[in-house]
Structure 1
């Protein structure tokens, strides 16, 4: 008769309030617990959702046992995690700036079969990268990618992230009162939408180009804000994220952020 293996048991005590664990061995000092899928994503191996799929598929082991629970608690430095039989080593951190063309969606795979921003990286041999923020399908311009989740979280948090600058063409010429309303903000779908600053760059009789700066980025923020005020967006391009400029980067082209840009972003 085949003997059944006993259920896998961690050498960590049950979680205490606040999401922390106490180790049974060693000094007994509190250690931070992370779910298994999060450990994979923080290592820059893949996205959190993809990590969960790999765990569920039985591709991940902890201390020699296959674990199929994406939320299985892991203590840094105490558990040996293998992915496809290989030690889980943190990937080299990579920070990319892309000039996103119009017509591409910002996602890894699109359920409707639309082209995604990842086609811009075809053949480049890059590691897994996640977009840092979003640009909708009809928008274009500067978009960051990285395999550093903590860096991405800082940049997308309104409290710590940089200002973002856009060039926006609209179908009419705003007057002073309308420009003021853009900065005061409007309510749409239970959200308050406002620009950090806005100015007219140039205009003709029927259209105008605006510079719009945001200190946060809600879903289709600028389009919704202007729609409430009676404007249709004809073109929307992000030209800067904090101190990093789109510059002469061609459509669909990408480059690595340099040390000076990373330092400037860190200092906001």
Structure 2
């Protein structure tokens, strides 16, 4: 008997691969558009109505409504382009930005309302609609000189931001005649109540018989900084006058007088604070 031939088995077909389908596109959350979707306090600030802190107080106390509905949540987001915002029933619309400079007299406090009834810097702004104007920085009661006001919070924040290092220049009368060591100590920086304080520049302007005037330039704005620096060296401050912010000079503006910044002055401050980049 002949052996039976076995036919070769057909090669197994490779398993068919599942047809690949394109992955479904990943949905990216819509980004909040800068200048459109903002928090309600930020919206009131951007519109020039008040500061963000003041806006938060108004919202918490039920004074603010959006589209006729009272909002008390300070973290509520709104569309600035379409939202109809009201404060105490009065519509809030974007105001024209105002930029003023004041030669602040000594004896005025830099606040709108003083619990002690002392005169304030707003007593100098009676000829302006100052409802939404805020001081850009501060000068204490005993200090005088250049003080800015604006309802442009972005401008104010940029000018005050320590990162921008916009210089402030002061003329300071002290109760003694400083020697070279004193001036050098101020230039290197001193420690007051555990905090290091320094100036960008310190120069002797002039001397009298018993006192002298210094020119001190700061690029930061710590509370009572110059007075504290001098106190650490047992020096008393007799007068303190801010004469410049960046390239903006106090000039011949009379004490207690107010004027609007020129376009060139405003452009210069914006450039120095990084807004013009």
For the aligned pair, the TM-score class normalised by the smaller chain equals 0.7 to 0.9
SS in 2 for 1:31: coil
Give the deviation of 1:78 after TM superposition: 5.2
- Which of 1 and 2 has greater Rg? 2
Residue 238 of structure 1 corresponds to which residue in structure 2?
242
Q: Distance in 1 between matches of 2:244 and 2:254?
A: 14
Q: Distance in 2 between matches of 1:267 and 1:123?
A: 29
Q: Distance in 1 between matches of 2:85 and 2:128?
A: 28
**TM-score (normalised: structure 1):** 0.84
Preserved CA contact (<8 Å) 1:31 1:75:
no
Preserved CA contact (<8 Å) 1:154 1:161:
no
127-136 or 48-57: bigger deviation: 48-57
**TM-score (normalised: structure 2):** 0.82
Q: Distance in 1 between matches of 2:77 and 2:194?
A: 37
Root-mean-square deviation (CA, aligned residues, Å) is: 1.8
Preserved CA contact (<8 Å) 1:165 1:241:
yes
230-239 or 31-40: bigger deviation: 31-40
Q: Report Cα offsets for 1:46-80 as digits up to 9, x if no partner.
A: 23333233323433222331112233222433543
Structure 2 residue corresponding to 1:37, chosen from 38, 41, 49: 41
Preserved CA contact (<8 Å) 2:67 2:84:
yes
> What does residue range 1-268 of structure 1 map to in structure 2 within 5 Å?
29-31=30-32, 34-77=38-81, 79-268=83-272
SS in 2 for 1:235: strand
Q: Distance in 2 between matches of 1:70 and 1:115?
A: 32
Q: In structure 1, list runs of 5 or more residues that go unmatched.
A: 1-26
Q: In structure 2, list runs of 5 or more residues that go unmatched.
A: 1-27, 273-277
Residue 18 of structure 1 corresponds to which residue in structure 2?
none
Give the deviation of 1:39 after TM superposition: 1.6
Q: Distance in 2 between matches of 1:223 and 1:96?
A: 26
Q: How many residues align?
A: 242
SS in 2 for 1:239: strand
Q: Distance in 2 between matches of 1:238 and 1:260?
A: 21
